């Protein structure tokens, strides 16, 4: 594992109790920093923080609710004077079905978590980063946001929106010390697979030229670098982690 320099920095990782969020938090701690895990499952977040050790904290946060996100910022600043990085990792897939059969309530839930949640977390944390004059924001999008996966219209649309939000916010903050980027992984085998049908999982694998899914560690390595000071001239950018599926 290459050594990244996140020494003395503090990051908020949403959806940090498991999956990509947990792996990213683990990498940032290994790089010398500390993390606060935001998750709507308070018990799971607490258990994850305990497993990560003394440099990890847990805060309950429902990213789809502005009041909850604002409270999470306040709770985080109570034990850490700064939020140097924000990683928006919380997300859900929604059902795998044709658009004309897509349940309206499920569509709204996917949008609430996947894009409204990113908006709200950025909105509340950017205020703190602007006071500091420094920050790194990394949004977890998806190759589905570039290409559109069939039978996953809400997920694909929400991740396309994350890409566009990243580009917009990156330009708005380009003249500050804050950098905003996103990553677009192809499928990474985590617990989120439990929300997908076997047919959809097989479809995603068939699209990856490397013939395998990505790993949490591979995503965490790129996200970790994007959280460091070395990421200084990239903003509003999209970084692929697709095993060759997406080459543009």
Write down the catalytic residue from 22, 134, 155, 248: 155
155 is catalytic: yes
Q: For residue 195, name the pLDDT band (cuts at 50, 70, 90).
A: confident
pLDDT given for residue 191 in this prediction: 72
- Sole residue written with tokens 């977890």: 140
- Distance, in Å, from the CA atom of 50 to the CA atom of 48, rounded to the nearest integer, reads 5
The closest alpha carbon to 185, from 141, 149, 147, 221, belongs to 141
Percent of the chain with pLDDT over 90: 88
Backbone torsion region of residue 32, taken as left when φ is above 0, otherwise alpha when ψ lies between -120 and 50, otherwise beta: left
Residue 159, pLDDT above cutoff 90: yes
Domain segments of the chain as ranges: 10-240
Residue 127, pLDDT above cutoff 80: yes
pLDDT given for residue 130 in this prediction: 98
As a whole number, the mean pLDDT across the chain is 95
Residue 193, pLDDT above cutoff 90: no
**Is the pTM value of this prediction over 0.85?**
yes
At the fourth CATH level, the homologous superfamily of domain 10-240 is NAD(P)-binding Rossmann-like Domain (3.40.50.720)
């Amino acid at each position: 594992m290459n050594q990244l320099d996140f020494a003395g920095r503090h990051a908020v990782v949403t959806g940090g109790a498991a999956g990509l969020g947990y792996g990213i938090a683990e990498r940032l701690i290994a790089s010398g920093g500390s993390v606060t895990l935001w998750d709507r499952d308070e018990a799971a977040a607490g258990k994850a923080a305990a497993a990560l050790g003394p440099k990890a904290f847990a805060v309950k946060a429902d990213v789809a609710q502005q009041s909850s996100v604002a409270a999470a910022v306040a709770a985080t600043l109570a034990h850490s004077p700064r939020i140097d990085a924000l990683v928006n990792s919380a997300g859900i897939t929604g059902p795998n079905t044709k658009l004309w059969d897509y349940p309206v309530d499920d569509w709204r839930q996917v949008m609430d978590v996947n894009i409204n949640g990113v908006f709200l977390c950025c909105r509340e944390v950017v205020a703190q980063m602007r006071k500091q004059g420094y920050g790194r924001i990394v949004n977890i999008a998806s190759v589905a946001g570039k290409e559109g996966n069939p039978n996953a219209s809400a997920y694909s649309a929400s991740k396309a929106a994350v890409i566009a939000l990243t580009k917009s916010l990156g330009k708005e903050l380009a003249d500050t010390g804050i950098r905003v980027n996103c990553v677009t992984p192809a499928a990474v085998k985590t617990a989120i697979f439990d929300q997908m049908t076997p047919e959809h999982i097989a479809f995603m694998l068939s699209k990856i030229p490397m013939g395998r899914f990505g790993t949490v560690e591979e995503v965490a390595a790129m996200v970790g670098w994007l959280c460091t000071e070395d990421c200084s001239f990239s903003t509003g950018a999209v970084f692929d982690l697709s095993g060759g599926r997406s080459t543009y």
